[in-house]
Amino acid sequence: MYCRHYMVRSTPTVLDTATLAEAMATMIKHHRQQLLVVNAQSEFVGEISTFTLAKMLLPPGQAQQTAEEAEKESVIDVDDRIAPYLNRRVGDFVEHDLPVMHPDTPLVDAVRLLASGKLRLPVVDPETNKFVGAISSLSVLRRYQF
């Protein structure tokens, strides 16, 4: 079995030139913790995840927050921490260290990475680096619909 047998071709992606606000809207709409990022030529670039976004919500330079500080904080304070980033390009925040699968990568190689905690793996054409789909634990397990 190969990745091409289980990959999903119609997975949502985001352009590296899209704004962070657009990426967040896509994540929310499609219930995704991670979006795969492509460029205008449909080449795979990397990923943006909710983990990256969560870091933007943290108070600057503050490892812990006291109960008093938490009590004083408002929703607007939290919103104000992410607001400066919303109009910036997704490409500014892309994580590039995601393993890449090819359609002819053995399925077991992808499953091993998924079992180690990867959410979704991009599948790209090895000759063109064009994004052709993605594989996740759910895309493999969907075969077992009861």
Could you tell me the CATH number of the domain that includes residue 14? 3.10.580.10
Measured in degrees and rounded to the nearest 5, phi and psi for residue 39 equal -100, -175
0.85 cut: is pTM over it?
Answer: no
Number of domains in the chain: 1
Whether residue 62 is predicted with pLDDT greater than 80 in this model: the reply is no
pLDDT tens-digit profile of 104-118?
Answer: 999 999 999 999 988
Contacts of 79 (CB under 8 A, 6+ apart): none
DSSP state of 19: B
Enclosing domain of residue 64: 3-144
Whether residue 98 is predicted with pLDDT greater than 80 in this model: the reply is yes
